[in-house]
Amino acid sequence: MTWFAQNFDDLQHNLAIADDFYALANIKINKDKTKILTNDKSINKKQHIPLKFGEDTIDIKVVSPKDVLKCCNITTLMIIQKFSF
């Protein structure tokens, strides 16, 4: 599953809503496979960051935009600061 957000706070808010839905629908997901791909330079400097995913806080791997992300069986999260075309 892929999530897009304008900033980190919006991402955590969206994930809280998703987590409520998963609980309501009795859906199990593996939050430990979560990775984040972002163009936010302050986050890209880190290897891992804590992320509040609903009721849980998980330590997620930061994937550099220069790296190739294999999406099989991985929840991919993206924070987009701005779109430029």
For residue 21, count CB atoms less than 10 angstroms from its CB and return exposed for 0-12, middle for 13-18, buried for 19 or more: exposed
Please tell me the distance from the alpha carbon of residue 43 to that of residue 73, in angstroms, as a whole number. Answer: 23
- For residue 85, being part of any structural domain is answered with no
Pairing of strands 48-53, 56-63: antiparallel
- For residue 84, being part of any structural domain is answered with no
- For residue 75, being part of any structural domain is answered with yes
pTM of the model: 0.72
Tens digit of each residue's pLDDT (9 = 90 or more) over 29-78: 888 888 888 888 888 889 999 999 988 999 999 887 666 555 555 555 65
Number of domains forming the structure of the chain: 1
Tokens standing for 84?
Answer: 């430029």
Q: What is the pLDDT of residue 34?
A: 86
Question: Which DSSP category does 65 fall into?
Answer: T
What pLDDT band is residue 84 in, cutting at 50, 70 and 90? low
Domain that holds residue 7: 2-79
Q: What is the pLDDT of residue 35?
A: 86
Q: Which residue has the higher pLDDT, 12 or 72?
A: 12
Please tell me the distance from the alpha carbon of residue 8 to that of residue 13, in angstroms, as a whole number. Answer: 9
